[in-house]
Structure 1
Amino acid sequence: MKPVTELAPTPLEKFYQWERSAPDTIFLRQSAANQWIEYTWSDVAEMVRRVAGFLRARNLPAGSRIGLLATNCAEWLVVDLAIMLAGHVSVPLYAAQDIRSGRYIFDHAGVSLVFVGHFAHEQNPDTLLVEGIYRVALSDCVVPCDISLPEIFEHAERFEACPLYPREQLFTLIYTSGTTGNPKGVMHSLGACAEVVQRRTQFLPSADPGARERFISYLPLAHVAERVGIAIRAVYGNAELSFSAGPERFAEEMREVRPTGFFAVPRLWEKFRQGLEAAMPGLDPHALSDAQKLAVRQRLGLDQARIITTGAAATAPDIMAWYAALGIRLQNAYGMTENLIDGCIDMSESPADPGCVGKPLPGVQLRFTEDGEVCFRSAGLMQGYYKEPDKTALVLHAGWYHTGDRGYLDAEGRLVLTGRVGDIFKTAKGKFVNPLELEHKLTATGLFEQLCVVGQGLAQPVLIARPFSANCDIRISTVIEQINTELAPHERIGQILLTDSLWSADNGLLTPTLKVRRQAVADRYLPELEPDVPLCWCKN
């Protein structure tokens, strides 16, 4: 493999390229007040250079940690590019970041200045924003700050230079979602980003040759998939990037943008389906004509999308099949913060086992340890976990990243994930159970909106779930009995605990990336389990 430094231009070099060669081309679009505000590359460059000038004028040490706490918007990407241009390190936080992990990130990263937009705790901002950190307000910010972005656009001097920083230079700290503890700060270089995004842009074109790609950004930009796979990808490909105003107008925005490439997590694919079924009672994709299927795709805004991916968690087979019947092929993708999502994607059309995430992307090497752990090697690998060499040493060995996921290759050479190394639990009978395999089967029933299987130290595994319907006890019991006949005795669901409460990042049961915090769910619900009762509802 060639060194990263020989392979691709950095994000800044692509910024300089489009600023120079396509100044009048519309790059960013912001949805606001039922209309679109459009920014050309010249407009974006003007804003980026003024924010970079402001940062340089503050005389911060090179490589200072600059926080970004906001919902998705065009200004988010402007600030991200400006931090890069000024030679500093961005530290994105989720707008829904919980207070404990948010304050941990501010302290651990050593953030000295933060750009603030809308975020979950803005009614009591000081619970999250650490005292002493200089605050810059984005245009939609409602909390007290030291200066605003519009003031910077108006008064700051432009930073006119076009520096070419070393490719090994750190450009961002992306903190993991903290599923099992404190978030870890993943260090990535300019060169790693260059290699990954350039390859993805060339390998996964979402528009016809000669046509511009169109993307819409609505998932958190603090998540590596949205930032690298959508925002920075748009920088590399000179794509048109639109930013959603929020859930209330998202469906309409999708029809207006008609993206050529689109990414969503499994829970959102389920919500899109529920929305369609509510608007079109009795909808059966298999019974529709081709023209009717096209009309449904147009209603979703996906009629021109060539690359439609799903990831961050397992997507239920019935969801995949439902969309496939509409002519919408969801392509499973697999990557992580530690490799800048430089992993796998399933481009094949042949049937696959549950958990199939496809073949490695070009430039990505894949292997397994003796116990089946998935390992990756590519130019996208992190430099390590910030300030945590011991944790880095646990996952990086001789240039290979050990993911903590288990898997195997199917007959076509596609990676199939079977669970997390750390998720496997031992029951009171001394038997080991892989909860992900059970969860795949349970999700495929279509009965549960959210679910989690736990069982460490228990006699049998326990299903904790939020069903789609509140009046389905008998059906659930019947389905679980049938599934149990297909399982080994030690894997069979012993008890079912149902709840009508939604799991979210706000109540600590999901991470900001919507992954289930298994231990938190167990701690919250197991005390309510009634002994020897096969199925019961949570009382609180």
Structure 2
Amino acid sequence: MTNSSYVLPVEQLKANLKTKPNDLWLHQPTNGEWKSYTVAQVVDEASRVANALLNQGIEPGDRVAILAKNSYAWMAADVGMMLAGIIPVPIYSTASSDTIEYVIEHSGAKLCFVGKLDDCSAAEKSLTNIPVITFPDSNGNYQGAQSWQSILDSSAPLASYHTPKADDMATIVYTSGSTGKPKGVVLTHGNLGAAAVETKNRMVGGEELHRMMSYLPLAHITERSVVAMTSIYGKVELFFSEGLETFVEELHHCQPTDFISVPRLWAKFQAKVLAQIPDDQLQEMLAGEGGDAVAAAIRDKLGFGSCSTYGSGSAPISPALLEWFHRIGVDIAEGWGMTETSGLACSNQPFTVEGMGTIGTPLACNEMKLSDEGEVLIRGDAIFTEYYKNPEATAESFIDGWFRTGDKGVKDENGAYRITGRVKEQFKTAKGKYVAPVPIESRLATNSLIEQVCVLGAGRPAPMAIVVLNDQGLSKDQIKANLEQTLNETNEQLESHARLDRIAISETTWDVENDLLTPTMKLKRDKIEAFYSATINSEAESGVYWVYQ
């Protein structure tokens, strides 16, 4: 049972409508022009769309999918369904047709909202047998679809709002599926409320106005909980992005006070700086008399001139990258959570220097501990209780009321946790010894040339690393010498059975489109292993070399 003392999202929305109806909330760019929406305007549109769903025969408890990139309409659809007791089922905008069809069929969704997509072909193929409502920015062609604007023009607001209980289902969030079919995580109103209240307390407490960018996928629980839900509970304005091409301009327009990202994007921010000035020269300037001014100028150029709170999550981030940003005054608090924990569950926020390299301490709504095998276990008001239509997976995931996260970790003397890898990511080499890849990847990632890294080696005589590089304008000879030094320094820190025999430099960047990353930018290790099977199995190369594929 969930602690009902937490204010539920619907209750908070009602309170916002009474206490701050005219406060600005959502900011949407369209072809470079910004339109801003107040709390009252968002709830009005949300309420009209929700009433239209009810009038079309969709009932409280029915499921409705959302397939779109982030926008104000995505948020309004989500809010509206909560106000009507309908269950939102987000789908990643990059999902394949097989995944779209699976999620819709498995969830029993009766309708799908569709918005802007980078590639509409999968959606157009998959949404032929389900009613569709298109968001204002939709760029696809869906037979018989209703438009968002036509719904607003023809519908009155809800006469009354749904009043959920803490244990009522609020949403089904399908995991990003790094292996196998995605599982539908059932989250209750109480789960979302607990996570949002405690995340707000850690990040945006008080009466000061906060501004945040919403650009990571809203289909992922971190963005939906840490950013979207926190904006409901805190004094927060959200700014959306039209895409990568306009992101930097939009970031400067937003002037965020709080900025959340993922390790790969933090590495790209670093590479952007180092493309302008070599790191050794930069460090000399930062250590000099005008170092603070240099750091402030870099932050301002990146778009962080007004930012005081920074976060990273979704995947492990290199401590060396955290330390590099710390030297320019960007104090990144690493956080950890899962879909099953309703988003953020543990964080080094408020930021402490001592906590760099850890995920900090659990939110007040959660308890965490380590099993005898070092697996992170968690329970509390924000933790889910079931996978949708999958009682076997649910039973396997809990032990004595504790959720088995699948992450291995350690706990330091300050009560802060450090994630050391996934339980199932360990592999056995031909020598019969187990190797944990994440700590090795973290050591390699101290080299700012390395943007992406994956350590593999199941059945090989020795582990190896495959890397994707940042472009810092170095020659191949310089790169080779640089990485050979990193290889030697890394191996000096490892036990003999874990030492790498090679670093392969990939000419192919890993991304969601080529299916080597999940939508939340986690490595798909099995896909990467299959993609590079020739070089993994080859004994002809050692040291540092390029892979042209």
The verdict on a shared fold, with TM-score over 0.5 as the criterion, is: yes
Letter paired with 1:519: D
Q: Kindly tell me: are residues 19 and 352 of structure 1, through their superposed partners in 2, closer, same or farther at Cα, counting changes over 3 Å?
A: closer
Q: 1:485 — aligned with what?
A: 492
Alpha-carbon deviation of 1:363? 2.5
Name which of 436, 439, 442 aligns with 2:441.
439
| C-alpha spacing 1:351/1:198, structure 2 compared with 1 (3 Å) | closer
Q: Which residue of structure 2 aligns with residue 201 of structure 1? A: 200
The answer to whether the 8 A contact 1:353-1:416 is kept is no
| TM-fit CA distance, 1:280 | 5.6
When residues 126 and 31 of structure 1 are mapped into structure 2, their CA distance, relative to the original with a 3 A threshold, is closer
Q: 1:41 to 1:168 in 2, by over 3 A?
A: same
Give how far 1:364 is off.
1.6
Aligned to 1:81: 79
Matched, 1:537 2:539: no
Matched letter for residue 489 of structure 2: Q
What SS does structure 1 have at the residue aligned with 2:359? strand
Cα distance in 1, alignment partners of residues 213 and 273 from structure 2: 20
Cα pair 1:113 1:135 within 8 Å, conserved: yes
Q: Is 2:248 the partner of 1:251?
A: yes
- Cα contact 2:43–2:80 (8 A) shared by 1: no
Q: Give distance in 2, aligned partners of 1:154 and 1:446.
A: 53
- Is contact 1:435-1:453 (8 Å) kept? yes
> Of the candidates 213, 217, 220, which is equivalent to residue 216 of structure 1?
213
**Structure 2 match to 1:172:** 171
- Residue 373 of structure 1 corresponds to which residue in structure 2? 375
Cα distance, 1:5–1:350 mapped onto 2, change above 3 Å: closer
Tell me the CA shift for residue 214 of structure 1. Answer: 1.6
Give the counterpart letter for 1:388 in structure 2.
N
Q: Note if 1:425 corresponds to 2:427.
A: yes
The residue that corresponds to 2:396 in the other structure is 394
CA RMSD of aligned residues (A): 1.9
Separation (CA, whole Å) in 2 of partners of 1:256 and 1:130: 36
Q: Which residue is equivalent to 2:22?
A: 24
What SS does structure 2 have at the residue aligned with 1:484? helix
Superposed displacement of residue 123, structure 1? 4.0
Aligned to 1:56: 54
Alpha-carbon offset, residue 103 of structure 1: 2.4
| Contact in 2 for aligned 1:286/1:326 (Cα 8 Å) | no
- 2:468 match: secondary structure: strand
Aligned pair partner of 1:239 in 236, 251, 258: 236
Displacement of 1:124 after TM fit? 5.4
For residues 252-283 of structure 1, what are the alpha-carbon distances to aligned partners after superposition, in whole Å with 9 as ceiling and x for unaligned?
22222222221000111111122233356764
Distance change in 2, residues 1:65/1:324 (3 Å): same
- Please tell me the residue identity of whatever aligns with 1:174: V
Secondary structure, counterpart of 1:78 in structure 2 = helix
The ranges of structure 1 where at least 4 consecutive aligned residues each deviate by more than 6 angstroms after the TM superposition are none
Determine what percentage of the aligned residue pairs are the same residue. Answer: 30
Structure 1 residue ranges without an equivalent (≥5): none
How far the C-alpha of 1:475 sits from its partner, in A, is 2.6
Tell me the TM-score normalized by structure 2: 0.93
Corresponding letter in the other structure for 2:487: I
Distance 1:376 1:272, change over 3 A: same
In the aligned structure 2, how far is the partner of 1:329 from the partner of 1:450? 22
Aligned CA distance change for structure 1 residues 410 and 512 (closer, same or farther; 3 Å): same
**CA distance, structure 2, for counterparts of residue 324 and residue 296 of structure 1:** 12
Map of 2:291 onto structure 1: 289
Structure 2 residue runs of 5 or longer lacking an equivalent are none
Give me the whole-angstrom Cα distance separating, in 1, the residues matched to 2:48 and 2:115: 18
In 1, Cα distance between the equivalents of 2:328 and 2:257? 17
Q: What displacement does 1:527 show?
A: 2.0
The match for 1:468 is: 470
Partner Cα separation in structure 1 for residue 255 and residue 326 of structure 2: 19
**1:10-409 matched pairs, under 5 angstroms:** 10-123=8-121, 125-127=123-125, 129-145=126-142, 146-205=145-204, 209-279=206-276, 283-284=282-283, 285-287=286-288, 288-346=290-348, 347-351=350-354, 354=357, 356-409=358-411
Report the AA paired with residue 181 of structure 1. Answer: G
- Is the Cα contact below 8 Å between 1:98 and 1:505 reproduced in 2? no
Supply the distance in 1 between the matched residues of 2:441 and 2:3 (Cα, whole angstroms): 43
Does the CA contact (< 8 Å) of 2:341 and 2:384 recur in 1? yes
Is the 1:286–1:325 Cα contact (8 Å) retained in structure 2? no
Asked if the contact 2:195–2:345 (Cα under 8 Å) also holds between the matched residues in 1, the reply is no
Q: Give the TM-score normalised by structure 1.
A: 0.94
For residues 205 and 297 of structure 1, the distance between their equivalents in structure 2, rounded to whole angstroms, comes to: 21
One-letter code aligned to 1:275: K
Looking at structure 2, the residues matched to 18 and 433 of structure 1 have their Cα atoms a distance apart, in angstroms, of 51
Q: How many Å apart are 1:216 and its aligned residue?
A: 1.6
Tell me, in whole angstroms, the C-alpha distance in 2 between the residues paired with 1:204 and 1:448: 30
| Cα distance in structure 2, aligned partners of 1:124 and 1:320 | 38
Tell me the SS of whatever aligns to 2:393: helix
Displacement after TM superposition at 1:25 (Å): 1.5
| Alpha-carbon distance, 1:499 to partner | 1.1
Helix, strand or coil at the partner of 1:422: helix
Instruction: Note the alpha carbon deviations across 1:379-407, whole angstroms, 9 max, x for none.
Output: 01112111111111111223211111111
- Alignment-derived partner of residue 503 in structure 1: 510
**Paired residue for 1:410, among 388, 395, 412?**
412
Q: CA deviation at 1:83?
A: 1.3
Q: CA deviation at 1:353?
A: 7.3
